[in-house]
Structure 1
Amino acid sequence: MTRIIVAGATGWTGRAVVDAVLAAEDLTLVGAVARSAAGRDVGEVLGRAPVGVPVAATVVEALAAGPADVLVDYTKPGAVKGHVLAAVAAGVAAVVGTSGLTAEDYAEIDAAARAQGVGVVASGNFALTAALLSHFSLIAAQHIANFEIIDYAKAAKPDAPSGTARELAERLGDVRRPDLGLPLDQVTGSREARGGTINGVQVHSVRLPSFAATVDALFTVGNSRLKITHDAGADATIYADGTLVAARRVKDVTGVVRGLDTLLFGG
């Protein structure tokens, strides 16, 4: 039985993860973290019968409360790095669904995880369709030199680009640096209109009402175009399912694995 702590347990995705863990026969919820609900039973907080798991105010408190195997984090960009490093220091594996961490952050986490002999699985998006977006895009980048990313999300989303788009750009840039046609330092007018550069890849973030989470990976060769799209709706269970796949398999990992697709398909 794998023992799970969920940080961000009362958030949109965290709630779905808690429900999924409680429904799983091979997983057990041993901790939940949400400062606003600290001290209450997490079942009652989520509108169900008590489950005997009190909500902790911090990840450190949850880790100290009893043995755990995996920390699942769906909190905030400014907090997640400290949470993961605290888990790793305690010998607890981590599954990271929170966006906002950079490649440099993950390099630091990887070094700490390897030193402790534990695994960390991090993905900008744990939906299976997003994993396939990454998998197919990495294949396309091996054959096509021109590509960019467009990231769509709700108007109030604080991070730009999204974790899905950032992770995809970092990984595509490791395959190859795309051909921009015109170097960015030769762009006239507003340089910012060409988007942000992440690992050599141009990423454009659109923030408007009506969007939940959409990422387009655009590839062109000659006069032909390929668009690979992940388009998420408003149901967080698509992320919970992939998160639990990672929680079950992270014990077989040492160091950081980036992307659910890497876990599923290798790479």
Structure 2
Amino acid sequence: MNKISCIVAGPRGKMGSEALRMIEKDDTLELAACIDRKHEGERVQDIDGLPSMGAIIYTDAEICMQEVEADVLIDLTTPEYGYKHTKLALENGIRPVVGTTGFSDDQLSELRQLAETKQLGAVIAPNFAVGAVLMMQFSKWASKHFPDVEIIEKHHDQKLDAPSGTAAKTAQLIQEEREEHKQGHENEKETIEGARGANYDGMRIHSVRLPGLVAHQEVIFGGLGQTLTIKHDSYHRESFMSGVKLAATEVMNLDVLVYGLEHLLD
């Protein structure tokens, strides 16, 4: 069985470097190249803190994808670069697996159409931790019975987007089951703007950013005389790697863009 050849974008990031270590240990994946803002022409093994791998680093994503034969792009960068890299990958016949959040609806629509035109699989996942995906699905189910809900997501203080893609995805899933309505007192007033968090379809989303955190979310449902809390915590970024591997494997069997890891789970 041939190994799945991967390009990793963002190899020096915390998620990207974890993906390299996952590929290094895996028997079904291999590293073809990396895309980074620095270190043009150097090898991964020459960069402090990265695994001993001989793949070459490119600073120009387009040149990388034109010169390197690869099956899959694993992108764990930022929304700006993630969108550009995903589009370039599809245009060059490479299947993207993207853990970057913050895509707009228009960008997702464009990428879906491009994947369909090229008949190439693509996976964009707000969260690659299987436990987080289950948390989102459980929350969707619970919202049928508990329509009053608030979401609290907590991440490290270097995260660029708020709310997180996981929180936004959770809210979208709940929206599918819950009728929009305003929560709290009808005459509620914020004495400090933003105190009640973001308003999404009548439910509230709160974002916490602190050093020491990785990725955490709790979805709190309220009902008469009771509350229900569904919570997930990622304490280390290796928690995301089983989902990355699953997506990199399953994307080879797709010919459309899939948004959300839940579509790849049994």
Q: Does the pair score TM above 0.5?
A: yes
Percent of pairs identical after alignment? 30
Give the conservation status (yes or no) of the 8 Å contact 2:156–2:212.
yes
- Which region of structure 1 is more displaced relative to structure 2, 150-159 or 4-13? 150-159
Give the structure with the higher percent helix: 1
Distance 1:164 1:149, change over 3 A: same
Q: Give 1:59-74 correspondences, 5 Å limit.
A: 59-74=61-76
Whole-angstrom CA distance in 1 between matches of 2:17 and 2:116: 30
Counterpart in 2 of 1:147?
149
Whole-angstrom CA distance in 1 between matches of 2:110 and 2:185: 31
Distance 1:212 1:51, change over 3 A: closer
- The yes-or-no answer on 1:237 pairing with 2:238 is yes
Aligned length, in residue pairs: 263
Counterpart in 1 of 2:230?
228
Q: SS of the counterpart of 1:175?
A: coil
- Which region of structure 1 is more displaced relative to structure 2, 80-89 or 53-62? 53-62
- The yes-or-no answer on 1:114 pairing with 2:116 is yes
Give the conservation status (yes or no) of the 8 Å contact 1:103–1:170.
no
Distance 1:175 1:49, change over 3 A: closer
Give the conservation status (yes or no) of the 8 Å contact 2:150–2:204.
yes
The Cα of 1:50 is off from its aligned counterpart by 4.8
Counterpart in 1 of 2:127?
125
Whole-angstrom CA distance in 1 between matches of 2:185 and 2:59: 49
Whole-angstrom CA distance in 2 between matches of 1:131 and 1:189: 32
Give the conservation status (yes or no) of the 8 Å contact 2:221–2:228.
yes
Whole-angstrom CA distance in 1 between matches of 2:50 and 2:212: 30
Q: Which amino acid aligns with 2:194?
A: E
Instruction: Provide the TM-score with structure 1 as the length reference.
Output: 0.89
CA RMSD, 1 decimal: 2.2
Q: Give 1:76-225 correspondences, 5 Å limit.
A: 76-182=78-184, 187-190=188-191, 192-198=194-200, 201-225=203-227
Q: SS of the counterpart of 1:36?
A: coil
- The yes-or-no answer on 1:251 pairing with 2:257 is no
Distance 1:255 1:198, change over 3 A: farther
Structure 1 gap segments, 5+ residues each: none
Q: Deviations over 1:48-92 (max 9, x none)?
A: 675331011132122112221111101112211111011111121
Give the conservation status (yes or no) of the 8 Å contact 1:172–1:201.
no
